[in-house]
Amino acid sequence: MDVWSVDDDACWLDRTRRFLASERLRINQLVEWQEFRQTSFELVLHDLGSMATRESTLPAALSIVRPGGVLVLDDLQFPSYRGCVEKTLAATGTAHVSARQMTYDVIGRYSWVAFA
């Protein structure tokens, strides 16, 4: 399995790099969002930057999920983001389910799972 980490913030990407290195995990597939050119993945966790960044990059995140793959969308507790996700998934005919029961935490965060 290959694990990629993509971020729109170089400082966060560096923190990820340091964490992975401390765990003796590979760090050669860490890239900034604007440089990211990989075409497809079986599993994508879309947890990029601010909520506005997530909204603007959601179509691109959907486009890199291989047919039969899964897109995990984090932080659906925010009504405006959830509305954007609902609208985008409906417009693309993308099936999804709430993973709230499995991902809900003490501060109210939870995820959805979309199927390509």
Residues 61, 111 within the same domain: yes
10 pLDDT higher than 70: yes
Give the strands of the sheet with 95-98, arranged side by side.
Answer: 41-46, 65-73, 112-115, 95-98
86: CATH: 3.40.50.150
Select from 40, 47, 42 the least CA-distant residue to 5.
47
Which carries the bigger pLDDT value, residue 95 or residue 34?
Answer: 95
- Label residue 3 by pLDDT band (50, 70, 90): confident
Residues 70 and 36: their CA atoms lie apart, in Å, by 19
In this prediction the pTM is: 0.88
pLDDT digit string (tens) for 58-92? 999 999 999 999 999 999 999 999 999 999 999 99
Question: What pLDDT shows up at residue 2?
Answer: 76
Say if residue 80 is in the same domain as residue 25. Answer: no
Residue-level pLDDT at 1: 63
My answer on whether 26 and 76 are in the same domain is: no
Q: Which domain does 26 fall in, by range?
A: 1-34
